[in-house]
């Protein structure tokens, strides 16, 4: 369809034909500015109704309203990102991103990380939400999603409040989902820990850092921390990944690494003898963690099912009418709600102030004699 087709022509064109999913954006040209309405993924009749309602409202000065039909080439990894601008030839999506730059002698690590991200990005189902998003390469640096709260280890050690149990269990499930997905793509992470699991603005966990990973059983370029390392092995495997996940779960729930404070040799010897930290203080995942450490799981898919079952079991008391959320969780919800309402009121006051100032300026201008 040519640019500039009228809304009426568009309606006639599609009235007798089967609806085809396309992107529409409405361009409303006024005297001083162009209004760009966000992508309108809605039935055509609803879009036409939108025009009818708004041309006689805040857009009453519009001299032309038209639909433009176009095909947008948006990568799956940013398809849900905020649209901050749009025009006839392109749309602009916001990226909260960082650039990961490598030392000059670390070319293999960079190539390996890019190779992993490229393989994961080829999935037709779209980007896995539990994997740190990859946006490409810029001047030799890998551009990745910005993790607002950093790695889990940093968050646990710097936060003034211990996260609720349901948040910690969500991290365990999301981390396991990510590693299971990696394994399905022929990738072994080789350095699973709370230092390589990152948190977004909503405290969702995402696995990242694949510079030391193994692809298709190639030699890995990194290795697990001693407190996360499967004993008596030098080659990465699904068993070693599961062992590392067990130590990761322990750190998430206990707030510290297994045997923290001991030297590496002592930790390695303890694992070889089958000695592990006490799991009694933990509020969940005790059996799951022990099974990870003792090699009871054959695959991460099997582990993921147990983690999900534990998450459901821990959630049921909160959903029951006979139980109530913990007091600290209620206080946290109340504080967050009050803060949100205060911010909303401040935002409304700011809008009213700006609108009022604009009206005063208009009155002042109109009172100037010609």
Which tens digits make up the pLDDT trace of 65-103?
A: 444 455 666 766 677 778 877 666 677 778 889 999 988
The span from the CA of 282 to the CA of 97, in Å, is 35
Is residue 85 domain-shared with residue 161, that is, in the same domain?
no
Q: Which helix (H) or strand (E) is 253 found in, with range?
A: helix 238-254
Q: Are residues 72 and 183 in the same domain?
A: no
The answer to which of 162-176, 217-231, 337-351 has the lowest mean pLDDT is: 337-351
In a domain, 216, yes or no: yes
pLDDT of residue 3: 41
pLDDT above 70 covers a percentage of the chain that reads 62
Q: What is the CATH number of the domain that holds 274?
A: 1.10.510.10
User: DSSP letter string over 13-82?
Assistant: HHHTS-----EEEEEEE-SS-EEEPPP--S-HHHHHHHHHHHHTTTTTT-SEEEEEEE-----GGGTTSP
**Does any domain span residue 325?**
no
Q: Which of 89, 108, 140 is the last residue of a domain?
A: 89
Does 18 or 367 have the greater pLDDT score? 367
Residues 159 and 272 in one domain: yes
- Residue 5: what pLDDT? 41
Which residue range(s) make up the domain with 76?
Answer: 20-89
Whether the predicted pLDDT of 37 surpasses 60: no
Q: What's the whole-model pTM score? A: 0.67
- Domain boundary among the residues 319, 337, 365 is at 319
Asked if residue 204 belongs to a domain, the reply is yes
Do residues 66 and 199 both lie within one domain? no
For residues 194 and 301, membership in a common domain is answered with yes
Q: Judge if 79 and 184 occupy the same domain.
A: no
Percent of the chain with pLDDT over 90: 53
Could you tell me which residues come within 8 angstroms of residue 188 by beta carbon, excluding any fewer than 6 positions away?
182, 213, 214, 220, 236, 237, 238, 240, 241
Q: Is 9 a member of any domain?
A: no
- Judged against a pLDDT cut of 60, whether residue 354 lies above it is answered with no
Let me know if residue 186 belongs to a domain.
Answer: yes
User: Mean pLDDT across the chain, nearest whole number?
Assistant: 77
The pLDDT, as a whole number, for residue 83 is: 80
pLDDT in the model for residue 348: 60
Residues 186 and 58 in one domain: no
Asked if residue 288 and residue 218 are part of one domain, the reply reads yes
- Min mean pLDDT across 200-214, 264-278, 316-330 is at 316-330
Identify the band that residue 39 occupies on the pLDDT scale cut at 50, 70 and 90: very low
- On whether residue 234 sits in a domain, the answer given is yes
Query: Is pLDDT of 59 > 60?
Result: no
Please tell me whether residues 39 and 174 are part of one structural domain.
no
Q: Do 213 and 72 fall into the same domain?
A: no
Token pair for 1: 């369809």
* 128 within 8 A of 181, measured Cβ to Cβ: yes
Nearest of 251, 241, 156 to residue 192 by alpha carbon: 241
> Does residue 284 sit in the same domain as residue 160?
yes
Domain count, the chain: 2
Residue 257 within any structural domain of the chain: yes
Same domain, 84 and 193: no
């Amino acid at each position: 369809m040519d640019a500039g087709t009228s809304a009426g022509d568009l309606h006639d064109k599609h009235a007798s034909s089967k609806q085809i999913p396309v992107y529409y954006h409405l361009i409303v040209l006024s005297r001083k500015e162009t209004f760009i309405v966000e992508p309108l993924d809605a039935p055509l009749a609803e879009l036409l109704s939108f025009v009818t309602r708004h041309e006689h409202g805040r857009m009453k000065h519009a001299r032309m309203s038209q639909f433009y039909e176009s095909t947008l080439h948006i990568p799956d990894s940013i398809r849900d990102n905020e649209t901050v601008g749009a025009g006839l030839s392109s749309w602009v999506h916001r990226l909260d991103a960082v650039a990961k730059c490598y030392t000059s002698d670390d070319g293999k690590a960079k190539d390996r990380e890019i190779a992993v991200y490229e393989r994961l990005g080829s999935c037709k189902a779209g980007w896995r939400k539990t994997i740190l998003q990859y946006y490409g390469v810029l001047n030799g640096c890998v551009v990745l999603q910005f993790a607002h709260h950093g790695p889990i280890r940093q968050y646990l050690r710097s936060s003034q409040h211990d996260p609720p149990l349901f948040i910690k269990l969500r991290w365990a499930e999301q981390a396991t989902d990510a590693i299971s997905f990696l394994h399905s793509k022929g990738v072994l992470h080789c350095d699973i820990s709370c230092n390589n699991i990152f948190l977004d603005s909503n405290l969702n966990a995402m696995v990242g850092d694949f510079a030391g990973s193994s692809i298709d059983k190639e030699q890995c370029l990194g290795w697990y921390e001693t407190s996360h390392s499967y004993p008596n092995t030098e080659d990465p495997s699904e068993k070693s990944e599961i062992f590392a996940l067990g130590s990761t779960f322990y750190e998430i729930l206990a707030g510290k690494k297994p045997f923290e404070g001991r030297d590496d040799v002592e930790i390695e010897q303890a694992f070889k003898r089958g000695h592990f930290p006490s799991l009694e203080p933990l509020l969940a995942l005790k059996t799951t963690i022990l099974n990870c450490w003792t090699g009871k799981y054959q695959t991460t898919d099997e582990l993921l099912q147990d983690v999900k079952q534990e998450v459901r079991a821990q959630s049921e008391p909160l959903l029951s009418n006979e139980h109530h959320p913990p007091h600290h969780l209620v206080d946290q919800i109340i504080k967050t709600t009050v803060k949100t309402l205060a911010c909303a009121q401040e935002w409304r006051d700011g809008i009213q102030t700006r609108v009022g100032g604009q009206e005063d300026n208009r009155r002042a201008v109109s009172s100037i004699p010609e």
